Structure 1
Amino acid sequence: MIKNIFKNTGPGTLVAAAFIGPGTVTLCTLAGVNFGFNLLWAMLLSIIATLVLQEMAARLGIISRKGLSEVIREEIKTPFLRKGITVLILSAVVVGNASYEAGNISGGVLGLESVLGKYSFSLGTISVNLMSLFIGLIAFILLYHGSYKFLEKALISLVLFMSISFVATAVITKPNFLEVLNGVFIPKLPEKSILTIIGLVGTTVVPYNLFLHAALVKERWQKKEDLKFARKDTIISIIIGGLVSMAIIISAEAIQTKDIANAADLAKGLAPLFGGFAKYLMALGLFAAGITSAITAPLAAAYVAKGCLGWSGSLKSKKFRCVWIAILFLGVLFSSIGIKPIEIIKFAQVANGMLLPIIAGILLWIVNKKSVLGNYVNSNIQNIFGILIVCVTVFLGVKGILEVLNMV
């Protein structure tokens, strides 16, 4: 039975692995600590938006047999506009993922250090964190193997492990079920919560996941008839990912102190109330979140570069490997020399929230082109949801900029 359940599971799980990274864990922790259950509705909104957009990306990949960046490069006919959007995508995804990768690795380090302590060595005046090198090495080995099926199995295992860790922690806190439902289905906007809401949306509806998903479904499925499997995979994986994010918010609400900066602090805060068991669950979950995102971020960047620049070849091609190695190296470098993880993660997540409307708008335009998808273009209902999502993300992005500039 279990074998049948996971027979057609794959790319969706990798998408979930990408968005349940240290950024998600950190922001969900801060949301729970600072606002209790009041922002659970933002996670529900994020899950719905992710389902709609990732289904579009998966459909594009299976039907067109191309990645999102490849289709953009081919469908935009005006040279100036095509180059401008290509530079924007490369900057947002490839360059952006380099800084985002440091947050992924640093988040995994937080999980390890909360259990094992800190290990470092000095190079002159610079202190190098050994845990960052360890996580980078694991990510390098998994990526260098170059097999999609191998990566898929490894990430599915890590996501399952991570999910069990976080959900078990939430159960331990024994939340009030009616208050949780109230937080999920009745939207509230507490004072000074707008940037947290933007972060929750940005950390779940990750722009680079749209490129990653469209590229990965081509590796997993070959026929148009397989679209039903891709949709099932997407729905199950993203709902599980959303429930995990909600579980972290629920866990964080149980903490009495407000002196929380990251999920490692959440683990320590839970220990006096529920014993060391909760601490280990949270720490191991954060470690798994760091590893999964440390793998998917470089992988997504490499797929985007491959599509935008028109490269051919597989996961084992030299150009493809050069991109993800560069992203991984920069992530390990910035993480290991002591840049504060919380600042890296918060910056990356808010930036994703700002960039999302642009990427979502381009995807919505493409999946309405019959020249690309034929009879598989968006339905009217899908377009309504897509337009609403773009409008909401534009609104949140503008509000966030004004908030940063102290104009609201």
Structure 2
Amino acid sequence: MKRLLAVTLGVLTAIGGFVDIGDLVASSLVGARFGFSLVWVLLLGVVGICVYAEMAGRVAAVAGRPTFDLVRERLGPRAALVNLIGSLLVTALTLAAELAGVALAIELISSVTYLLWVPAVVLMVWLVIWRTRFETMERVFGLAGLALVVFVVAVVGLDPSWSGMLDGTLHPEVPGGEGVPTYLYYGIALFASAMTPYEVFFFSSGGIEERWGPEDLAVARTNVFVGFPLGGLLSLAIMAAAALVLHPAGVEVGNLSQVVLPVAVPLGKAGLALVLLGVFAATFGAALETALSCGYTTAQYFGWRWGKAAPPRAASRFHVVVATALVAGAMLVLTGIDPVKVTEYSLVFAAVALPLTYLPILVVANDPEYMGRAVNGRLANTVGVLYLAVVLVAATAAVPLMIATKAGQ
């Protein structure tokens, strides 16, 4: 019964926790500008995160150590340091975007400017990390994030042409007025939103927090192969809602209110209330994950004691890193920089950092010293190498495309 409960809640948590500010902005923006022509990229990203999250979860369950800890040991301190720096920069930028997302959700509810809410959001995130058990934290915000299912209801309520949607998905083309470089730029951003580096590091570390062992491989795999695809379905619904409402009207997404607008069209105020709850929970949960990920990767690299289960005094350096990341993210948001642009830039740089994240995971998952008989099989290696090639192409093209398109303009 306990294992069944862990699987059930784990799946629900994965569904609610998959969608963060990057998925909200990228999916909505892409749907508004390109209709259904980039759905294939989202599907590609969902499969990719499943492939590598399964490896990361299996490493944690079998080796009993988080992925980043083994990366340093397996690749050496210098190579792992490059990985650490890249991961920290991207995760810290993502954290700033998540904090802004929480504050913007509160602004839409209260009509008080989001900048005034940022300090309160930081304090709330820090208190939850400091005082709440890992399982409680993960499940409460993950389950609350399921309110985003209202996007699926909204798509059905819009009574779309299902054959037209399918045709646009199966026969993608660059819409008139959009250039191929811009199409590719947003395609990479959408791909990166599904494969954001912090997800696998948090997933692996979370497995250690929940004391996974070899007997929990089924739990880890259920989280991955059921939870992540269903989370991807939410992203697809966000894209579809924008494609149905905003794309025909020529509206480009520039703020969070436009992301939630398609829900209000068929469902009115009740739908708007639910979607705002979902956005708040999803971005708050992602802020928790990114803040913790900054602490996880840093502590694991330096060999410090870490984790929410450890008494704060015993893991003081871990908590200092988490708090520092929160303050740094808040300071960036308080400069007044456009939160949507922060999100877009975080996705571009996440794309650049993808090889630093996924190559070491592939290496560790193939090491029999750590994994014994649970090393990657032929299928996992074949798909993993193919995705690594895709990741390298995306990482190489991301910054040149950002420059060529002036960040998608």
TM-score by length of 2: 0.88
In structure 1, the residue matched to 2:382 is: 384
Matches of 1:267 and 1:57, distance apart in 2: 33
Matches of 1:92 and 1:285, distance apart in 2: 30
Shift of 1:10: 5.6
Task: Find out whether 1:173 has 2:158 as its counterpart.
Answer: yes
Task: Find out whether 1:236 has 2:235 as its counterpart.
Answer: no
Question: 2:64–2:213: 8 Å Cα contact kept in structure 1?
Answer: no
Q: Could you give the per-residue CA deviations for residues 228-276 of structure 1, whole angstroms, max 9, x where no partner exists?
A: 1210122121012100100100110122232421332233466456534
Q: 1:284 aligns with which of 273, 277, 280?
A: 277
1:5-404 equivalences in 2 (<5 Å):
6-9=5-8, 19-77=18-76, 82-83=77-78, 85-119=79-113, 129-145=115-131, 147-161=133-147, 163-186=148-171, 188=173, 191=180, 192-253=182-243, 254-255=245-246, 256-268=249-261, 271=264, 275-315=268-308, 316=312, 317-404=315-402
Question: 1:31–1:196: 8 Å Cα contact kept in structure 2?
Answer: yes
Q: List alignment gaps of at least 5 residues for structure 2.
A: none
Matches of 1:287 and 1:293, distance apart in 2: 10
After TM superposition, the runs of 4+ consecutive aligned structure 1 residues lying more than 6 A away are none
Question: 1:11–1:216: 8 Å Cα contact kept in structure 2?
Answer: no
Aligned-residue CA RMSD (Å): 2.5
More off after superposition, 320-329 vs 269-278? 269-278
Shift of 1:313: 4.5
Aligned residues: 393
Q: List alignment gaps of at least 5 residues for structure 1.
A: 121-128
Question: 2:13–2:143: 8 Å Cα contact kept in structure 1?
Answer: no
Q: Secondary structure at the match of 1:252?
A: helix
Matches of 2:158 and 2:307, distance apart in 1: 46
Matches of 1:164 and 1:17, distance apart in 2: 9
Shift of 1:50: 0.8
Question: 2:263–2:275: 8 Å Cα contact kept in structure 1?
Answer: no
Shift of 1:319: 1.2
Counterpart of 2:402 in structure 1: which amino acid? V
Q: Secondary structure at the match of 1:386?
A: helix
Q: Secondary structure at the match of 2:7?
A: coil
TM-score by length of 1: 0.88
Counterpart of 1:113 in structure 2: which amino acid? E
Shift of 1:186: 4.9
Q: Secondary structure at the match of 2:251?
A: coil
Question: 2:69–2:300: 8 Å Cα contact kept in structure 1?
Answer: yes
Q: Could you give the per-residue CA deviations for residues 24-67 of structure 1, whole angstroms, max 9, x where no partner exists?
A: 10111111100111111111111111110100000000101111
More off after superposition, 20-29 vs 110-119? 110-119
- Alpha-carbon spacing, 1:389–1:294, altered in 2? closer, same or farther (3 Å): same
